[in-house]
Chains A and B, each alone.
Chain A
Amino acid sequence: MTTDAARPVAADLVLHHEVSQFLFREARLLDTRQFEEWLSMIAEDVRYVAPVRLARMPREDRKEFEPVGGGAHFDENKEDLAQRVRKVNTGRAWSEVPASRTRHLVTNIEVTAVEGDDYHVSSHFLLYRTRSATYQDQFAGARHDVLRRRSGGFGDLELAERTILLDQTVLLGNNLAVFL
């Protein structure tokens, strides 16, 4: 959460393009329900966290998001994410049967730091989701990701860390049975 004020680094066009393409591909895999493929983009030691957000008075602003180890919507490792994929692949995960139609819109992509093979990337997302006949919900927020270079080849990155900062304090949706 420290990266909010960070200025973008002078990432070259190729790096910015590479990072953007990674996030767009991820969005496409999620929205086309290619979850196994999506998992292959995730590092073995990933930490995937969405802290709970609270409405706070101004002098307690800095406590708006729960600290690491506090209330969270997700605080997952790779096996937890794989478990979710196994769940949905049973075909009997009723909250996703029939499947949601989702649209991950990822924007405002900035590379905020480069540390060796790690790229700190901040972005915004809007997840539109509709299911059944008329149901819809939307989740908007920021993502602070660490993308790690795997081999050196263009586009061969993995998601090593993701912190999801949702805008809603009380989530307006029946569940979060989708990936943010």
Chain B
Amino acid sequence: MSTRISDLVDPVEGRVSARIYADEQIYDVEMERVFGRSWLFLAHESMLPKRGDYITTSMGDDPVVVVNRGDGEVAAFMNQCRHRGMRICRADQGNARAFTCSYHGWVYDLQGNLTQVPHEDDGYLGALDKSQMGALRVPRIANYRGFLFGCWDEKAPSFEDYLGDMAWYFDSFANRYENNEILGAPNRWTIECNWKFPSEQFATDVYHAETSHISALIAQGGDWVTADTKGLQFSSPGGHGTGFYLDDAPDMTDYGPAARQYRAESREREVERLGETRAVHVRGHNTIFPNFSFLIGTNTFRVWHPRGPHQIEVMTWTLGDADAPDEVKDAMRRNALRTFSAGGIFEAEDGENWAEIQDVLKGGRARRSSFDFTMGRGAAGTTEGYPGTTNNIYSEEAGRSFYRRWAQLMEEDQ
């Protein structure tokens, strides 16, 4: 690439070139260097309870199959036949004993090994080494509290090291309930925007909420934070970020009376599991670099799958407390849907903003502009009781870290 990444991203000064969101060449490099080396969310183990249960998803823009192998392990492999590249699995989810390619009939087992080839003897004259022709395996899979992440890079750090201090914050979501359960199949939709807009927003940006989401806040009639409400943002050298309020976290949710009562009781258990600080305060917006985000409180988590520089496919799920009564689970599920899904009263405005920015970036002069990330610059520090680097919630510390990490990966040769 003729342009140096360091000319495009300046995390110290807090400037990011608009080009990084709209340039095809940059996109190609980031698929290889960012998505090729990062840990990417695959599935939650509760989505695949039985042997042969599978879902199809993506790692970056590559389709993958994630399967329960039946031996307590999960396999993930590229959804691409080694013969001519046909998709091996063509459903969104289901249960299979094997995957048969619909082009010439090659058969792959639950681990992606090639097991049967039509006309192996008279066609290939027995010369096809099936052991070398399995679907491209995701070589590394980590199971973190039931959340399965995969990584193409054999040399990448372990998932725990990759998370670093973010693990403490992620636990506030992943370890809040004794048992997690995913409440239903994901909502999926497309947004005409670059994947970095939503990823960055969930890492660093509570700032937008009062403006972007004012209509939903009014419609809900709930209390919202006042000017005196204090909060913190955590930023990570790994590019992860989270922001949350230090007051008893404002609950944007309304789960209904039965659920509210259950949630009130379950808070005691949450405090026991997570400690007061996390149970009560660390309940905000979060991104695990590069494209896995979650909101505690509304219990949604999502992957922003890149689909070229100008489009994403969103997959969002609702996390539920597996031990809650059905009525409560249902209230949590419905609440997540009506706030944060394609039809969610909060979600809609975010996509609107990202898509409009992307549309502006069709302009050549617009692409040469740079965006401002100076909020809270120079004010990062530490806060007793909170791991890692922190800053005011109204800062863009985590945004600067997100792009610092992005630039590092983009510049490093393998």
Give the contacts of A79-124 with B (CB-CB under 8 A).
80, 83-84, 86-88, 90-96
- Nearest B residue to A70 by beta-carbon distance? B184
| B351 contacts A175, C-beta separation under 8 Å | yes
Number of interface residues of B (CB under 8 A): 44
Q: Among the listed B188, B333, B345, B351, which residue makes an inter-chain contact with A69, where contact means beta carbons less than 8 Å apart?
A: B333
Bound Cα distance from A76 to B337, whole angstroms = 9
| B94 contacts A169, C-beta separation under 8 Å | no
Interface string of B260-296 (1 = CB under 8 A from A): 0000000000000000000000000000000000000
| A170 contacts B91, C-beta separation under 8 Å | no
Q: How large is the interface on A (under 10, 10 to 19, 20 to 34, 35 or more residues)?
A: 35 or more
For the A-B complex, the count of residue pairs with Cβ-Cβ distances under 8 Å equals 135
Binds A, one of B66-74, B103-111, B216-224, B383-391: B216-224
Binds B, one of A10-18, A22-30, A37-45, A54-62: A54-62
Interface residue? B341 (CB, 8 A): yes
| A52 contacts B187, C-beta separation under 8 Å | yes
Chain A positions within 8 Å of B219 at CB level: 83-84, 86-87, 90
CB proximity of B102 to chain A, nearest CB, Å? 11
Chain A positions within 8 Å of B326 at CB level: 69
Bound Cα distance from A120 to B190, whole angstroms = 33
Interface residue? B353 (CB, 8 A): yes
- Supposing A55-B90, A80-B338 touch, asked if A93 and B351 sit within 8 A by C-beta, the answer is no
| A175 contacts B215, C-beta separation under 8 Å | no
Interface residue? B153 (CB, 8 A): no
CB proximity of B24 to chain A, nearest CB, Å? 21
Interface residue? A177 (CB, 8 A): yes
CB proximity of A51 to chain B, nearest CB, Å? 9
Interface residue? A66 (CB, 8 A): yes
Chain A positions within 8 Å of B216 at CB level: 87, 93
Interface string of A113-157 (1 = CB under 8 A from B): 000000000000000000010010000000000000000000000
| A173 contacts B342, C-beta separation under 8 Å | yes
| A84 contacts B184, C-beta separation under 8 Å | no
| A176 contacts B343, C-beta separation under 8 Å | yes
- Supposing A87-B215, A173-B190, A174-B355 touch, asked if A71 and B185 sit within 8 A by C-beta, the answer is yes
- Supposing A83-B220, A170-B188 touch, asked if A175 and B214 sit within 8 A by C-beta, the answer is no
Interface residue? B23 (CB, 8 A): no
| B348 contacts A170, C-beta separation under 8 Å | no
Q: Among the listed A57, A83, A91, A170, which residue makes an inter-chain contact with B190, where contact means beta carbons less than 8 Å apart?
A: A170
Please name 15 further chain A to chain B contacts, defined as beta carbons within 8 Å, in addition to the given A71-B183, A83-B220, A90-B219, sorted by A numbering: A56-B91, A60-B94, A60-B95, A69-B333, A71-B184, A75-B334, A75-B337, A76-B338, A80-B338, A87-B216, A90-B218, A94-B215, A135-B355, A174-B189, A175-B352
A-B CB proximity, top 7 nearest: A71-B184, A71-B185, A176-B343, A87-B219, A95-B348, A93-B215, A171-B189
